[in-house]
Chain A
Amino acid sequence: MSETQRARLSISIAAGKGGTGKTLVATSLALALNDDYPGEVQIIDCDVEEPNAHLLLQPEIIEEAAVHVLVPEVNLELCTRCGECAKACQFSAIAVIRQAVLTFYDLCAGCGACAYVCPVGAITEVQRQVGVVRAGCVGGQIDFVAGCLNVGDQRATPVTKAVKERISPKRISILDAPPGTACPMQETVEDTDYCILVTEPTPFGRSNLQDAVDTCERLGVPCGVIINRDGIGNQGVDDYCAAEGIEILMRIPQRREIAEAYSRGETLAEARPQWRDDLVEMYKRIEEIVSSQYVQEGVS
C-alpha cells in the first residue's frame, strides 16, 4: 500500500480528570497536523456532555443529524400489570406500581429486556432523540465532528457511538475524550490506535493518570503522556511513568502566555510556532510506536 492510501491513525486525547488540557492538546494537534497533512485531518469532539472544541476551532457546521435510542412504549390496554418488565429491567427504568405503569427514559439503557419478557406483547420499542451530531469543516480543510447530548439526558454513549461512526480511515482522526475514566471516556478511547493522556504533575494528577493508564490497558489501547503545566507540583508523575515504562511524549510548561492565548480562544499551535513543530514530531513518534506494535503483533 502506498503512503497516501494506507489507513490513518486515530488518536484519542483523554485524562483522568477535567481541566488538564485535553481540548488544548486536541485542537492544537489538529491544526498543527493540518499544516503538514492538509485536508487529511479530522477532529472529533467526543465530550458530548460538554463539547467545547468548536469554541477554539470555529468550524462551519454543514450538517446536523439526530441521534436516537430505543425506549419502551407500553400499550396499556394489552398490559396486564404483571410487573415482569419491571423485574427484568436492571436500571429501574420501568415500574408497575399498582395499576400505574411508568417509564423513565432518562434511566433507560435501551436494552429491550422489558419488551422481550412481556408475556402479552404490550411493549414496543420506539425511537427517542437523545442528542445530535454536528459535522462541518474548519478553515475549509479540517473535517469537524462533534456530538451533543440533550440537556437532562444522562447516557452519553449512544451519542459518542454516533460521533465515532464518522471516523474516516482516510484521515488522521483526533478524538477529544470526555474527562474521567467512566463509560463515555471508554467508549471514546476504545478501538483508537493510540491514546494521549494529558495530566498535571501533581499528586492528584498522578492518581488520575494511574486510573486512565489502567483503563487504557484494559481497553488494549497503547498510551503515552503529555505533562501540562510542567514545572508546578512534584516529581510523582515522572516517577510513575518511569516505573511503569510509560512514554512522556511532550511537556507543556506552566506559562502565563499559554493561559492568556487559550483564554482568547487561541490554540498552542497559534500561540507559538515552536509548539506546532513539537506536535507534528509527537505525531510522527506515535506513528512509529503504533506501527512497531503492529509489527510485534504480526510476529507473535
Chain B
Amino acid sequence: MKVAVTSKGKDLGSPVDPRFGRCPYFVVVDTETMTTEGIENPGALAGAGAGVAAAQLIADAGADAVISNLVGPHAFAALKQGGIAIYAGAAGNVKSVVEMLKKDELGRLEEPNAELDAGAKRRG
C-alpha cells in the first residue's frame, strides 16, 4: 500500500505536519518496501481550494491512504469519494507514523475535522 504523509520535509526522517491541504510536503511511502517519494505541495501557499488540489496531487501520485491530522471539508469529500483512506493521529516523523499505521495504531478519520481555510490561517 502507498500512504501519503503530510510532512514538513521530503523524507522518512522529516517531521509530520498536521495540516492536509497546506502542508509543505507529502511523503508518499510504500509500506512494503519503505521506499519514499517526497512531493512538494504547491497548495501550501495557494488561495482557496488547497485541500482539493492536495487530494488530486496525492491521488495522481498513486496513494491509497493519507496520514494527517487536520482535514477540511473539501479535502475530506474528495478523498472519501475517491476511496482514499484517511488516518489521523500524525505525530513525530514520517517513519514513526508509518510504523504506527502498520501496527494498526492509527484511527480512521470519519468526518472533516478542520474548518474551511483553517490551514491557511495556521502557518508552520
Say whether, besides A97-B84, A100-B82, A154 and B77 are in contact (CB < 8 Å).
no
Cβ-defined contact, B59 with A97, below 8 A: yes
Partner-contacting stretch, out of A11-19, A87-95, A256-264: A87-95
Looking at the assembled complex, report how far the CB atom of A201 sits from the nearest CB atom of chain B, in whole angstroms.
30
A91 to B81, CA, bound (A): 19
Cβ-defined contact, A100 with B56, below 8 A: no
Looking at the assembled complex, report how far the CB atom of B53 sits from the nearest CB atom of chain A, in whole angstroms.
4
Interface residues on chain B, size class: 20 to 34
Looking at the assembled complex, report how far the CB atom of A109 sits from the nearest CB atom of chain B, in whole angstroms.
10
Residues in B whose Cβ lies below 8 Å from that of A83:
56, 60
* Count, chain A residues at interface, CB 8 A: 15
Q: In the complex, which of the residues B43, B49, B77 has the most CB atoms of chain A within 10 Å of its own CB atom?
A: B49
Cβ-defined contact, A98 with B74, below 8 A: no
Residues in A whose Cβ lies below 8 Å from that of B55:
95, 97
**Interface status of A76 (Cβ within 8 A of chain B):** no
Say whether, besides A95-B55, A97-B56, A98-B59, A104 and B81 are in contact (CB < 8 Å).
no
Q: List 16 A-B contacts (CB under 8 A).
A: A83-B56, A91-B48, A92-B49, A92-B56, A92-B74, A95-B52, A95-B56, A97-B59, A97-B78, A97-B82, A98-B84, A99-B83, A100-B78, A100-B81, A104-B49, A107-B74
Residue ranges of A at the interface with B (Cβ–Cβ < 8 Å): 83, 86, 91-93, 95-100, 102, 104, 107, 154
Residue ranges of B at the interface with A (Cβ–Cβ < 8 Å): 43, 46-53, 55-56, 59-60, 74, 77-79, 81-84
